[in-house]
Amino acid sequence: MSEQPARRSTLSRRGFLKAGGALGFAGLSAAALNLPFFDVDGVSQSAAACRAPDVSETERELIISNWTGYIDPRRAEGSTLSRFQAETGIAVTYNVDVNDNAEFYAKVKNQLGECEPIDRDMIILTDWMAARMINLGWIQPLDADRIPNVHANVIEPLRGVAWDPDFKYHAPWQSGLTGIAYNAAEVGEVGSFEELISRPDLKGRITLLSEMADTMGFMLLVTGADPENFDDDDWANAIDRMRQVVQDGQLRQIAGNNYLQQLAQGSIVACEAWSGDVIQAQYDNPDIKFVVPEEGLALWSDNMMVPNKATHQANAETWMDFYYRPEIAAKLASWVNYICPVQGAQQEMEKIDASLVDNPLIFPDAEMLSNTWDFMALTDEQQQKYEGEWADVIAG
């Protein structure tokens, strides 16, 4: 028999992104937005040389930085965090201080760039930022023998990523899909990203996401390029198309938060959207629909990593291995509503919330995942150039 499902979080990890809400265009500049768009070069380090002694055996502690709304209620009886502490004897300091990849990078770049500690044993960041930090030598290699569940249980679509194919430096925490959402009470189905940014009945009534990799990945696709393998000319065409969408008035706002509330209220009728947000919105409004665009879906992960100078790496690896137990992964997924990265969790979900077992936005099938893409890992030079141009466009 399934457990009675508890009330889930109403503030999802991705829904919290850029707490200022949505960014309009009139009268704004990149400087006024004060966004940390990689204006200072990163300083490369050697992860082998930039490490601290691991005191995990004598200090049963672990300090984590994660996104808001990205774990089941920590103080609840039987929560995954309380079970971890009880089973391992490791006391967890769990910080919800990752609000945005670029913002977090700006917060830690000086310390990590100078081989100094950031007083964290684990940080959880999105693919493109994880790749960047690994490339800079800021992330410690993991001990494969300490994380057997990770290597055994990662779902197949998340294996073999170009920037860390063998999980030497990362383990996915949760994954998600970026596609299209629309309000069926207000407008007909929006079947492609091209429709979203050009259909006359949607003019001024859509939002796109503030996360550059998501939105510009789709722009690359609609201009005939591959978001997993593109050059500066491809980028130029895509950013020009984005600029045109803004100038034509097709776009109401760039959204980092609150976009599904606007969709439910009718102030927008369609938008680029993250899968976990849509699941949560559908509990209150079944007219909110998620669409797999003709161009495909962006598949991304937020990844657990151990930064340089961490002093409790073995404890962090114990955490990773614990959350890759299928029954623990299912409990977590039942609350956060993003794609569960752990094989076997779908079967365990029967015991927790049977209504989620066949939800394709938590447990997508092979057909759905066959039409997904990820954004190419960028060099530091590309990152600074592209983020600067993106900031100019979304500032209007």
Each of the 396 residues of the chain gets a pLDDT tens digit; together they read 344 333 344 445 555 443 334 444 433 333 333 334 344 455 899 999 999 999 999 999 999 999 988 999 998 889 999 999 999 999 999 999 998 888 899 999 999 999 999 999 999 999 999 999 999 999 999 999 999 999 999 999 999 998 999 999 999 999 999 999 999 999 999 999 999 999 999 999 999 998 899 999 999 999 999 999 999 999 999 999 999 999 999 999 897 657 888 898 899 999 999 988 888 888 889 999 999 999 999 999 999 999 999 999 999 999 999 999 999 999 999 999 999 999 999 999 999 999 999 999 999 998 888 889 989 888 888 988 999 999 999 886
Beta bridge partners of 351: none
Query: If we measure between CA atoms, which residue out of 351, 353, 300 comes closest to residue 170?
Result: 300
Supply the pTM of this predicted model. Answer: 0.85
In 10 A of CB 380, how many CB atoms? 14
pLDDT for res 355: 94
Helix (H, G, I), strand (E, B) or coil at 76: coil
Q: What is the pLDDT of residue 383?
A: 86
Dihedral, 382, 209, 374, 197 alpha carbons, nearest 10 = -100
Strands (E), 184-259: 206-209, 251-255
Superfamily of domain 177-299+377-395: Periplasmic binding protein-like II (3.40.190.10)
For residue 11, the 8-state DSSP code is: S
Query: What is the C-alpha to C-alpha distance for residues 270 and 144, in angstroms, rounded to an integer?
Result: 44
Query: Which residues lie below 8 Å from residue 185, measured CB to CB, with a gap of 6+?
Result: 266, 287
- Residue count of the chain: 396
CB–CB of 78/337 below 8 Å? no
At which residue do the structure tokens 């063998």 appear? 166
| CA–CA gap between residue 339 and residue 368 (Å, rounded) | 12
Locate tokens 């103080």: which residue? 75
For residues 281 and 338, give the distance between their C-alpha atoms in angstroms, rounded to a whole number.
13
Task: Output the pLDDT for position 19.
Answer: 37
Instruction: Look at residues 166, 203, 168 and name the one whose alpha carbon lies nearest to residue 187.
Output: 203
343 CB-near residues (< 8 Å, 6+ apart): 152, 153, 154, 155, 326
Domain ranges across the chain: 48-175+300-362, 177-299+377-395
Local structure of residue 311 (DSSP, 8 states): S
Q: Which residues pair with 61 in a beta bridge?
A: 91
Strand 22-23 vs strand 251-255: parallel, antiparallel, or unpaired?
A: antiparallel
Q: What per-residue confidence (pLDDT) applies to 42?
A: 55
Closest by CA to 78, choosing from 326, 383, 332, 384, is: 332
pLDDT at 69: 85
For tokens 């990770």, the residue is 150
Fold: same for 48-175+300-362 and 177-299+377-395: yes
43 class by beta-carbon count within 10 Å (0-12 exposed, 13-18 middle, 19+ buried): middle
Whole-angstrom Cα distance, residue 340 to residue 158? 11
Domain 48-175+300-362 fold:
D-Maltodextrin-Binding Protein; domain 2 (3.40.190)
Give residue 280's pLDDT. 82
- Take residue 149 and report the two structure tokens written for it: 């569940």
